[in-house]
Amino acid sequence: MRGRNFKVRLLIGAAIAIFFVLKRCSQREENPYTGRVQTISMSPDKEIAIGLQSAPQMAQQHGGLHPNNEYQALVDNVGFKLVNNSVAKETPYRYEFHLLNDPRTINAFALPGGQIFITYALFSKLQNEDQLAGVLGHEIGHVLGRHSAERIAESEYWQGLATAGSVGADMGGLVSGIGQQTLLTNGRDDELESDDLGVLFMIKAGYNPKEMIGVMKILKDAAGPNRVPEFQSTHPDPDNRIEKIEEAIAKYKNL
């Protein structure tokens, strides 16, 4: 009886796994702006809706928006200059740029659909407009690259396989661990792709892309000697990012 139950569980687990594999195959599509094939489970309109819905909460978590209108105007001017001089202008996304009133957290991030944020802690450390363009160009790259939507779809896939592993042969934990490591690796690839796109956007808008290297040094100094090892982080090590940025500058310099 026990052997029969085990076989039934294996069959159910296999059926669940096949379902999620086929579902993932049906969700594969080419990003028209990067040419990369991705797993995407939502439309651009859904991405925009998620971003707009989440933006107020994200701002609240960082002390709200910064009250200095001149600083916000600078962020807007640089952000839209990057968008209007690049392929980002051709996308369906609604780009909006927000300076957050957070004096401690050195960070910038993008929500799906075009909502882009930079904290005052990072903004205040930037030495010139070109470095600001480097930060915002990188975040525009995340939106255009559909990285959040891709991570959501890939997470659903690995969660489905973990469920199948749990039902079929008590291997859910192993599958989940493999999935987490895969998502970490993919996250680092997203950062490098956004750096590459950021360099291209900077050049197209007339900014000096070498200033993005200065941004990496700011981030490295902010992380300090106790920063998380690259293999445990969704972000590549700043030194590795600098190397890839230099390669991107050489690739795009004659455009």
Residues 114-139 have pLDDT tens digits of 999 999 999 999 999 999 999 999 99
For every residue of 48-107, DSSP letters joined together read HHHHHHHHHHHHHHTTSB-S-HHHHHHHHHHHHHHHHTSGGGGSS---EEEEE--SS---
Mapped onto helix, strand or coil, the DSSP state of residue 24 is: helix
Are 156 and 146 in contact by the 8 Å Cβ rule? The answer is no
Residue 107 structure tokens: 């960070």
Give the position of tokens 């600078």: 74
Q: What is the pLDDT of residue 220?
A: 84
Is residue 34 pLDDT above 70, yes or no? yes
Q: What is the pLDDT of residues 149-207, one digit of tens each?
A: 888 777 665 465 455 555 544 544 433 443 345 334 446 788 999 999 999 999 999 99
Are 100 and 66 in contact by the 8 Å Cβ rule? The answer is yes
Q: Taking the domains of the chain in order of start, what are their residue ranges?
A: 2-252
- Predicted TM-score (pTM) above 0.85: no
Is residue 59 pLDDT above 50, yes or no? yes
